[in-house]
Amino acid sequence: MPHVRIPSLSRRGLLAAGGAVGLGAVLAACGDGDGDSSTESGSGTAKSGPWSFEDDRGRTAEADSVPKNIVAFIGVAAALHDYGVEVKGVFGPTKTADGKPDVQAGDLDIDKVEVLGNVWGEFNVEKYTSLAPELLVTAMWEKDALWYVPDQSKDKILQLAPSVALWAAETTVPKAIQRHEDLAASLGADVEAKKVTDAKARFEKAAARLRAAAKSQPNIKVMVGSASQDLFYVSLAKMSADTLYFQELGVRFVEPKVNEAGFFEELSWENVDKYDADIIMMDNRSSALQPDALTSKPTWAQLPAVKAGQVVPRTTEPIYSYDKCAPILEDLAEAIEKAKKVS
């Protein structure tokens, strides 16, 4: 994406791509109306009778009974699955090029759901209609914008069923998990089940471990990166739920000079050594180039963290359940515990 002027692009499109695809793949932004960005707990009931849930836009989705035919963004669907709530259809990165589950699918059996779209800008409205949807659920990276719901078809889509949007930014991991749990509970999940409480205990233990690791290695600095063929993107930690939470736990991050969108700074591969870092967390989404695809780039190979073998995956779009977020904390804690100061 050399010579691209960021203000002319959809910020959500760039976020979806992790800054890791060409301009031709960045399609129209998705959005949905006005309303505030309230993060108050939603209300709902899994009993018979009317159902309602207040989402993170401050809007209340309502139905005569608890929705059963649910369609969700893949990461949200995976989180609901961890709480025992199944969906009929999904959209967003679900399958890789070889047909295997995308990293964002979690434990969801992708062969048992209808895939309405697998890439940015793709959402099959006819398939969606055929599912007789009772609820649409997705993430929200920008105020009032429905993640992976295309602008060009959102009006048709939103007429067919109530919608719920949950923050993926402007929040932290524990808050995001709680909101997904609130929604799951309203849809009938048993959030006191042993599987859930055990996962929560593991998460809390992992958070304490990461805090201790950061405290014991105060000089270790982490850079959050995402790679494309032409550019390397360095993210600002405070802008995402995961890295903001890590920061709150004491992890030190590189602070790039971000562009007007506010999420990341674009570096040419010639300037990829602009910032000193001891650990590099690399975007693990299928839209981004992975470290083993960067061996041909000499400047990458010369980075101290790369030479020291201190490059770890970053789950850029976490699945917000305790079960899926606990290992993320454990892995980063281990990386910091073992890291050597190389910058």
As beta bridge partners, residue 163 has 136
Give the integer Cα–Cα distance in Å for 28 and 228.
20
Give the integer Cα–Cα distance in Å for 119 and 17.
9
Structural tokens at position 159: 């007429």
Helix axes 194-216, 322-338, angle to 10 degrees: 20
Give the integer Cα–Cα distance in Å for 319 and 139.
11
pLDDT for 214-259, tens place per residue?
999 999 999 999 999 999 999 999 999 999 999 999 999 999 999 8
Question: What DSSP state is assigned to residue 66?
Answer: -
Give the integer Cα–Cα distance in Å for 305 and 228.
19
Beta carbons within 8 Å of 308's beta carbon, 6+ residues apart: 278, 340, 342
Is it the case that residue 9 has pLDDT exceeding 80? Answer: no
pLDDT for 58-96, tens place per residue?
999 999 999 999 999 999 999 999 999 999 999 999 999
Confidence at residue 167, expressed as pLDDT on a 0 to 100 scale: 96
% of the chain residues with pLDDT over 90: 81
Helix axes 74-82, 322-338, angle to 10 degrees: 100
Q: How confident is the model at residue 17 (pLDDT cuts 50, 70, 90)?
A: low
Confidence at residue 14, expressed as pLDDT on a 0 to 100 scale: 56
Q: Following DSSP, what letter does each residue of 212-268 receive, concatenated?
A: HHHHH-TT-EEEEEEE-SSEEEEE-GGGSHHHHHHHHTT-EE------TTSSEEEEE
